[in-house]
Amino acid sequence: MEFPAHSLDLDAMLAAPPGADAALARAPRPHADKLDRAQRLALYRHMRMTRTLEERLVALYRQTKVIGGLFRSLGQEADAVGSAFALERRDIMSPLIRNMGSMLVKGATPLEILRQYMAKGNSPTRGRELNIHFGDLERGFVGQISHLGDMIPVMAGIALSFKMRGEDRVVLVYIGDGATSTGAFHEGVNFAAVQQVPLVVVVENNGYAYSTPTGRQTAANSFMDKALGYGIAGVQADGNDVLAVYDVTKAAVDRARAGSGPTLVELITYRRKGHAEHDNQSYVPTGEIEWWAAHNDPIDRFVAWLTTHDSVSADEFAEIDASVSREIDAATDEADLSPMPDALDALDGIYADPPTIAPHWYREGVRAAVDIHERPASWGTHDG
Amino acid sequence: MAEITYLEAIREALFEEMERDPNVFCLGEDIGAYGGAFKVTEGLQAKFGDQRVIDTPISEAAIIGAAAGASHMGLRPVAELQFIDFISCGYDMLTNYVATARYRAFLPCPMVVRGPSGGYVRGGPFHSQNPEAAFLHTPGLKIVYPATASDAKGLMKAAIRDDDCVLFFEHKYLYRRVKDVMPDGDHVVPIGKARVAREGTDVSIITYAATVWKALEAAEQLQTEDGISVEVIDLRTLLPMDDDAIVATVKKTNRVMVVHEDTRTGGIAGEITARINETCFEWLDAPVLRVTAHDVPLPYSPPLEDFVLPQVSDIVTVARHLARY
Q: What is the DSSP string of B270-304?
A: HHHHHHHHHHHGGG-SS--EEEEE-SSPPPSSHHH
Domain that holds residue B265: 195-323
Tell me if chain B has a CB within 8 Å of the CB of A209.
no
In a domain, B187, yes or no: no
* CA-based nearest distance B4→chain A, Å: 31
Rounded CA gap, A128 and A130, in Å?
7
Note the pLDDT of residue A382: 45
Within this chain, do residues B199 and B171 fall inside the same structural domain, yes or no? no
Q: Taking CB atoms and an 8 Å cutoff, what residues of chain B touch A354?
A: 240
* Domain endpoint, select from B146, B181, B216: B181
Average pLDDT, chain A: 91
In a domain, A383, yes or no: no
Contact between A125 and B68 using a beta-carbon 8 Å cutoff: no
Note the pLDDT of residue A383: 45
Q: What is the CATH number of the domain that holds A323?
A: 3.40.50.970
Active site residues of B: 127
Sign of the CA dihedral running A351, A355, A360, A363:
positive
Within this chain, do residues B110 and B249 fall inside the same structural domain, yes or no? no
Eight-state DSSP code of residue A198: S
In a domain, B188, yes or no: no
8 Å CB contact between A140 and A104: no
Residue B216 has pLDDT above 80, yes or no: yes
Note the pLDDT of residue A367: 54
Least confident of A10-19, A48-57, A232-241: A10-19
In a domain, B189, yes or no: no
Q: Taking CB atoms and an 8 Å cutoff, what residues of chain A touch B100?
A: 145
Q: Taking CB atoms and an 8 Å cutoff, what residues of chain B touch A352?
A: 102, 108, 162-164
Within this chain, do residues B167 and B229 fall inside the same structural domain, yes or no? no
* CA-based nearest distance B118→chain A, Å: 27
Within this chain, do residues B243 and B288 fall inside the same structural domain, yes or no? yes
Measured between CA atoms, the residue of chain A closest to residue B240 is A354
Strand pairing category for A263-268 and A233-238:
parallel
In a domain, A126, yes or no: yes
Q: What is the CATH number of the domain that holds B162?
A: 3.40.50.970
Rounded CA gap, B256 and B249, in Å?
8
**Which helix (DSSP H) or strand (DSSP E) does residue A233 occupy?**
strand A233-238
In a domain, A107, yes or no: yes
In a domain, A356, yes or no: yes
Within this chain, do residues B173 and B220 fall inside the same structural domain, yes or no? no
Domain that holds residue A42: 8-363
For A150-186, what is each residue's pLDDT tens digit? Answer: 999 999 999 999 999 999 999 999 999 999 999 999 9
In a domain, B87, yes or no: yes
Which of B75, B103, B108 is closest, CB to CB, to A128?
Answer: B103
* CA-based nearest distance B22→chain A, Å: 10
Within this chain, do residues B22 and B145 fall inside the same structural domain, yes or no? yes
8 Å CB contact between B312 and B221: yes
Mean pLDDT on A101-112: 98
In a domain, B176, yes or no: yes
In a domain, A199, yes or no: yes
pLDDT band at A26 (very low <50, low <70, confident <90, very high): low
Residue in A78, A87, A100 with CA at minimum distance from that of residue A244: A78
Rounded CA gap, B220 and B217, in Å?
5
Which of A134, A150, A160 is closest, CB to CB, to B97?
Answer: A150
pLDDT band at A4 (very low <50, low <70, confident <90, very high): very low
In a domain, A319, yes or no: yes
For A217-239, what is each residue's pLDDT tens digit? Answer: 999 999 999 999 999 999 999 99
Rounded CA gap, B182 and A212, in Å?
59
Residue in A372, A382, A307, A383 with CA at minimum distance from that of residue A66: A372
Within this chain, do residues B287 and B246 fall inside the same structural domain, yes or no? yes
In a domain, A380, yes or no: no
* CA-based nearest distance B228→chain A, Å: 37
For A279-318, what is each residue's pLDDT tens digit? Answer: 999 999 999 999 999 999 999 999 999 999 999 999 999 9
- Residue A108: burial class (beta carbons within 10 Å; 0-12, 13-18, 19+): buried
Contact between A158 and B107 using a beta-carbon 8 Å cutoff: no
Q: How many domains does chain B have?
A: 2
Note the pLDDT of residue A363: 86
Q: Taking CB atoms and an 8 Å cutoff, what residues of chain A touch B54?
A: 195
Query: What is the reported pTM?
Result: 0.94
In a domain, B190, yes or no: no
For B2-60, what is each residue's pLDDT tens digit? Answer: 999 999 999 999 999 999 999 999 999 999 999 999 999 999 999 999 999 999 999 99
- In this structure, which amino acid lies at residue A293? A
8 Å CB contact between A158 and A142: yes
Residue A6 has pLDDT above 50, yes or no: no
Note the pLDDT of residue A364: 72
Residue A8 has pLDDT above 80, yes or no: no
Strand pairing category for B142-144 and B166-171:
parallel
Within this chain, do residues B8 and B87 fall inside the same structural domain, yes or no? yes
Residue B72 has pLDDT above 50, yes or no: yes
ipTM of the complex: 0.96
In a domain, A382, yes or no: no
Residue A14 has pLDDT above 60, yes or no: no
pLDDT band at A38 (very low <50, low <70, confident <90, very high): very high
Measured between CA atoms, the residue of chain A closest to residue B51 is A164
- In this structure, which amino acid lies at residue B124? G
Contact between A190 and B68 using a beta-carbon 8 Å cutoff: no
Q: Which residue has the higher pLDDT, A17 or A201?
A: A201
Within this chain, do residues B60 and B159 fall inside the same structural domain, yes or no? yes
Instruction: Please give the backbone phi and psi of residue A348, each rounded to the nearest 5 degrees, phi first.
Output: -100, 140
Q: How many domains does chain A have?
A: 1
- Tell how far CA A159 is from the center of its chain: 20
